[in-house]
Amino acid sequence: MGILFALGWFALAFIGGGPVDIILMAVALIDGVFGILLIFLPVTAYLGLFYVAIGAFTLAVTKHSLGGKAGMYFLIAMTIIIFLLTAGLTFIAFTINYFDLIENYISSCEADMNIINWELSYWNLDTRCENWALFTAFSVFLLFLVQPIALLELFFKKSGSRSGSGSGGHHAGQQNVNTNPQ
């Protein structure tokens, strides 16, 4: 999955942004849906809330131009921060390895989810806890891989908005008429 996304990042950077707003909305929906799924596990609840907030803000910036350039720069900064946070690369403030947290959480999963089903246990743990932990790890990895796509699209959107629409400040339907014949 990592190789496919890495190739996709290079292809996207090579061919350009494409339909930037549509791709950003798709990334925002992925962030929101999979972020909500991270909230169910206590060790990834705050990370999930962060992804849901980034997804909602991405939708607001993309769909409603919220914040203008300041909103775009804020979104770029938050996307970089969440990418580094998920990767565990932010050694200055904190180092969090979410995969170790998820693995260590499996033993207390049964009590938190109120699962008591020893007939279907595997290595003295209910397989539902193990499956949910694996799905959560997959979700964290997917969200991590989607963030460079969001960054590329945000940079394409920022550079496209700087070149402008070429309207020159005139409203649609208006014509620039020169009234001075000299």
The region that residue 23 occupies, defined by phi over 0 for left and psi between -120 and 50 for alpha, beta otherwise, is alpha
Q: What is the pLDDT of residue 36?
A: 95
Other CB atoms closer than 10 Å to residue 125's CB: what's the count?
Answer: 15
Indicate the DSSP class of residue 131: H
Q: Is 11 helix (H, G, I), strand (E, B) or coil?
A: helix
Element (H, E) at 51: helix 45-64
Q: What is the pLDDT of residue 173?
A: 42
pLDDT in tens, 71-113: 889 999 999 999 988 887 766 666 778 888 888 887 777 777 7
Q: What is the pLDDT of residue 171?
A: 39
**Contact (Cβ atoms closer than 8 angstroms) between residue 148 and residue 83:** yes
**Contact (Cβ atoms closer than 8 angstroms) between residue 126 and residue 114:** no
Instruction: Please spell the DSSP secondary structure of 14-48, one letter per residue.
Output: HH--SSHHHHHHHHHHHHHHHHHHHHTSGGGHHHH
- Pick the closest to residue 105 from 64, 139, 133, 147 (CA basis): 133
Q: Is 110 helix (H, G, I), strand (E, B) or coil?
A: helix
**Contact (Cβ atoms closer than 8 angstroms) between residue 86 and residue 140:** yes
Q: What is the pLDDT of residue 4?
A: 94
Low pLDDT (below 50) residues in the chain: 161-177
Q: Taking the domains of the chain in order of start, what are their residue ranges?
A: 16-160
Cα–Cα distance between 99 and 103 in angstroms, integer?
Answer: 6
- The pTM (predicted TM-score) of the whole model is 0.76
